[in-house]
Amino acid sequence: MNIGVDAAALGMSNAVVAHTADVNSGYWNPAGLVNLEDNQMALMHSSYFANIANYNYAAFAMPIDDRSTMGISIIRFGVDDILDTTQLIDDQGNINYDRINLFSAVDYGITFSYARKLPVQGLNYGVNAKIIRRIIGDFASSWGFGLDLGIQFEGGND
C-alpha cells in the first residue's frame, strides 16, 4: 500500500503531500480534496517484476458543497496464478501434476475520504478511513483498519 498513485506524483518522487489538490489527494493528503471544483475520477494500472505483479488504482471524489468534499479510492496489488505444489506428491510418493492448483496473493485497500475548509482562511483538513484486506490463496488472510488526518495551509502570495 506504499507504492503511491498518480504519475505526476510518482515523477516528483512522491513529494506532493503539501500541495496535492485533486482526486488523488485521498491517497496523499485528504485535505487537498477541498480544492476540487467538480467531480473527478482517476484510474491507474502498473505492472511490476516483468508483469508478474499488478497494481491497480481507482478513485472518485466529488464536492458536497462549497466547503467540503468526499471521495473513495480502491487499490489492488496482487500476484495471480501462483502454482500451489503442496499436493503434488500424494501419500504414496507418486507425483501427479493434476494436483497442482493456482492461487493469488493479493492486497486490497479501500479508502473513504472527507475534507472540509475551516473558518480560518486557507486552512483545510481531511480525514481518511481505510480498510485493508490481504488474501494469500486458501493459506492466509487478514484485515486491517486505519485512520489518517491531514491538514493543509495555503498562505497569501505576499
> What span, in angstroms and rounded, lies between the C-alpha atoms of 16 and 35?
14
Tens digits of per-residue pLDDT, 7-48? 888 888 888 888 899 999 999 999 999 999 999 999 999 999
The span from the first CA to the last CA of the chain, in angstroms, equals: 38
Report helix, strand or coil for 129: strand
Instruction: Using the predicted structure, report yes or no on whether residue 93 has a pLDDT greater than 60.
Output: yes
pLDDT of 156 > 80? The answer is no
Percent share of the chain, pLDDT over 70: 99
Q: Is the dihedral of CA 47, 50, 51, 55 positive or negative?
A: negative
Question: What's the confidence (pLDDT) of residue 154?
Answer: 85
158 — pLDDT class (breaks 50, 70, 90)? low
What is the spatial order of strands in the sheet that 68-84 belongs to? 40-48, 53-63, 68-84, 101-117, 123-136, 140-153
Question: pTM score, two decimals?
Answer: 0.87
Predicted pLDDT of residue 157: 67
| pLDDT at residue 137 is higher than 80 | yes
**Does the pLDDT of residue 67 top 90, yes or no?**
yes
Q: What average pLDDT does the chain have?
A: 93
Task: Tell me what pLDDT residue 60 has.
Answer: 98
Segment 97-124 shows an average pLDDT of: 95
Q: What would the mean pLDDT of 104-116 be, rounded to a whole number?
A: 97
Question: How high is the pLDDT of residue 155?
Answer: 79
